[in-house]
Amino acid sequence: MQAVAPPTAPEGARTDPILALDGVTKIFPGVKALSDVALRLYPGQVTALVGENGAGKSTVVKILTGIYQPDGGQILLDGQPVSFATAQDAASAGVTAIHQETVLFDDLSVAENIYLGHAPRTRLGLIDTRAMIAKAAKILASIGAHMDPTVRLRDLGIANKHLVAIARALSVDARIVIMDEPTAALSHKEIQELYDLVEKLKAQGKAILFISHKFDEIFRIADRYTVFRDGQFIGDGLITDVTESDLVKMMVGRAVDQIFPDRQRLGGTEILRVVGYDHPTEFADINFTLHRGEILGFYGLVGAGRSELMQALFGITRPSKGVVRIDDKVRVIRSPAEAVAQGIVYVPEDRGKQGAITSLPIFQNITLPSLRRTSRNGFLRLAEEFRLARDYTSRLDLRAASLDTELGTLSGGNQQKVVIAKWLATRPKVIILDEPTKGIDIGSKAAVHEFMAELAAQGLAVIMVSSEIPEILGMSDRVVVMREGRIVDILDHDNLTPETLVRRAAGIEDGADQ
């Protein structure tokens, strides 16, 4: 058995970790998601895993729950190396996870949901309903959830459903509980109840890995912290030894080695003005303007309502209130077709589902919104279609065998270039890019950034939704920060620091701990 040398001395840890990751590396094609990271989980303690989007948090969760296999390093359970080849292996080792969105079954009872797949059996091999209900009631009581286990899940509210998900996670006799942003969907009161629950679990000696973007709850609930950045281990220790500022600095670090194109700011005329935009559930009181030649960044945590706002501007969802002015004229946009006609186009975040038709050839994807221009009297003209596709793909430096190739066979980066080309071919006035470089390789990223800069230089107005701080800082002229469906700040690019962005997005008061 090898001794694990911790990166910082586990001060105050009287016990050994139940579970530890040691030098774990995970490589995906083109991306090193985790590079030699360490993580230690102690019994009866909450460890907060902190990091920006793309830091590698979800990859770690997937490795701990047996969904991914590490490419290097080892997992130590009670100091012994183990491998979680399947989700079952991880579960039988006592690892369980409560996800942000848990898959539950509306038409089954609470007890059936808790014990689906591992229900107690009678001697005949049938489900022992009575024992199942009794055991479910016991688990529910242990987490302070007072509900009838025979009730159908459909009849419960969202908070109680969440408790059922937690009960399900605990029903497998877990020693290690992973909570992946457990408070994202909860109200204030429910969050308090969750804190109580976490205390109960601690008292039972369980090791808890707590993943959250919210600093107030990290400092409220966690005993220890571990910070990742860009798939690398940055540091860990006791939460009492750090301040919010320390954590933010560790998360953000120095700028990553990414080079962004130099940009000249144009100061063009106003093209888009959004006034008093409201949506019943997703966003409220949105006001901003956009100018020709400008790149306007939208920063915020996942769930801040940025994509929902963009989809409303593009006519996919309807706002309940508010006015959109394009070139100072009020425009009502009720469908994507109308948005395109008004010169607003949208490159969605979910490329596979919303952005691209992967089973059609490249050129057909590109010409789809421009068919009216390439056709004559409604009849296709293939030569025109190829000409248009060739024109725009060559400007984006697309790599493909032919324009007739099925789009799905290309890499993510090249698919994204096709989706962008598709919209540019419509000659828009405003292009909205939602996480334009998410999940694409470095080379394609640079190509997309360079092209964005070029578009802005030509006078196109660009809105860029991004959760990557370097990208926001490197590309935007101004940055709109959103939190919980509202704009909290519109910041000028000058004097903008990563720390400011993180603080505004997470809702940390200025000078709270300085």
Size of the site for other proteins (CB under 8 A): 43
337 binds other proteins (CB under 8 A): yes
**Residue 216 is encoded by which pair of tokens?**
């107030």
CB of 395 to other proteins, least distance (A): 6
Cα 346 from Cα 445, distance rounded (Å): 18
- Among 126-134, 264-272, 284-292, 332-340, the segment contacting other proteins (CB under 8 A): 332-340
Count CA atoms within 13 Å of residue 145 on its CB side: 27
Question: Residue 262 or residue 509: which is nearer to other proteins going by CB?
Answer: 262
404 vs 492 by CB, closer to other proteins: 404
Q: How far is the CB of 342 from other proteins (least distance, A)?
A: 11
Residue 421 is encoded by which pair of tokens? Answer: 């080309």
CA geometry: angle 165, 170, 171, nearest 5 deg: 95
Shortest distance, position 396 Cβ to other proteins, whole Å = 9
**Which range touches other proteins (CB under 8 A), out of 92-100, 118-126, 300-308, 340-348?**
340-348
CA atoms within 13 Å, Cβ hemisphere of 73: 22
Among 266, 357, 446, 496, interactor with other proteins by CB under 8 A: 357
Closest of 44, 479, 47, 64 to residue 298, by C-alpha: 479
Tokens in use for 67?
A: 């969904």
**Cβ-based nearer residue to other proteins, 360 or 490:** 360
Among 141, 332, 360, 512, binds other proteins (CB under 8 A): 360
Pattern 442-461, other proteins, x by CB under 8 A: ------------x-------
Binding characters for other proteins, 366-405, by CB under 8 A (x = yes):
--xx-xx--x--xxx-----x---x--xxx-xxxxxxxxx
Residue 126 or 259 with smaller CB distance to other proteins:
259
Determine if 354 is a binding residue for other proteins (CB under 8 A).
yes
Given the complex with other proteins, which of 7 and 459 has the nearer CB atom? 459
Residue linked to tokens 């969440």 = 162
Nearest distance from C-beta of residue 408 to other proteins, angstroms? 10
CB of 341 to other proteins, least distance (A): 8
Can you tell me whether residue 282 is helix, strand or coil? coil
Q: Per CB under 8 A, does 335 bind other proteins?
A: yes
Q: For other proteins, which is the closer residue by CB, 87 or 341?
A: 341
Q: Using an 8 Å Cβ cutoff, are 389 and 371 in contact?
A: no
Distance, CA of 213 to CA of 222 (rounded, Å)? 13
Question: Which one of the spans 166-174, 199-207, 337-345, 488-496 is the region binding other proteins (CB under 8 A)?
Answer: 337-345
| Residue 291, C-beta contacts closer than 8 angstroms, at least 6 positions apart | 266, 267, 268, 269, 270, 271, 461
- Shortest Å, Cβ 403 to other proteins: 5
Q: How far apart (Å, rounded) are the C-alpha atoms in residues 109 and 154?
A: 8
73 is an interface residue for other proteins by CB under 8 A: no
| Interface pick for other proteins out of 2, 80, 264, 359 (rule CB under 8 A) | 359
Say whether residue 169 binds other proteins (CB under 8 A): no
| Full DSSP string of 411-437 | -HHHHHHHHHHHHHTT--SEEEEESTT
**What minimum distance in Å lies between the beta carbon of 354 and other proteins?**
5
The reply to whether 353 sits near other proteins by the rule CB under 8 A is: yes
Instruction: Report the residue number, 240 or 394, with the smaller CB distance to other proteins.
Output: 394
Residue in 110, 218, 339, 410 binding other proteins, rule: CB under 8 A: 339
Q: Shortest Cβ distance from residue 120 to other proteins (Å)?
A: 38
Does 332 help bind other proteins (rule: CB under 8 A)? no
- Calpha distance 335→353 (Å, rounded): 18
Site for other proteins in 258-317 (CB under 8 A): 314, 316
Does 363 bind other proteins (CB under 8 A)? Our answer is yes
Residue 141 in the binding site for other proteins (CB under 8 A): no
Those residues whose C-beta lies under 8 Å from the C-beta of residue 184, and which sit 6 or more positions away, are 100, 303
Question: Whole-number minimum distance, CB 497 to other proteins, in Å?
Answer: 32
Query: Sheet of 207-211: strands edge to edge?
Result: 80-82, 72-77, 19-28, 31-41, 232-238, 224-229, 46-50, 207-211, 176-180, 95-98
Q: State which residue, 79 or 439, has the beta carbon closest to other proteins.
A: 439
**Nearest approach, Cβ of residue 295 and other proteins (Å):** 18
Q: Rounded to an integer, what distance in angstroms lies between the CA atom of residue 444 and that of residue 448?
A: 6
Q: 277: how many CB neighbours lie within 10 A of its CB?
A: 21
| Cα gap 232→400, rounded to integer Å | 33
- What is the per-residue DSSP string for 193-261? HHHHHHHHHHHTT-EEEEE-S-HHHHHHH-SEEEEEETTEEEEEEEGGG--HHHHHHHHH-SPPS----
**Beta carbons of 399 and 409 less than 8 angstroms apart:** no
Q: In the complex, what is the shortest distance from the CB of residue 380 to other proteins, in angstroms, rounded to a whole number? A: 6
Nearest to 455 by CA among 506, 400, 396: 396
Tell me whether residue 220 or residue 390 sits nearer to other proteins (CB atom). Answer: 390
In the complex, the residues that contact other proteins under the rule CB under 8 A are 314, 316, 335-337, 339-340, 346, 348, 353-360, 363-364, 368-369, 371-372, 375, 378-380, 386, 390, 393-395, 397-405, 422, 454
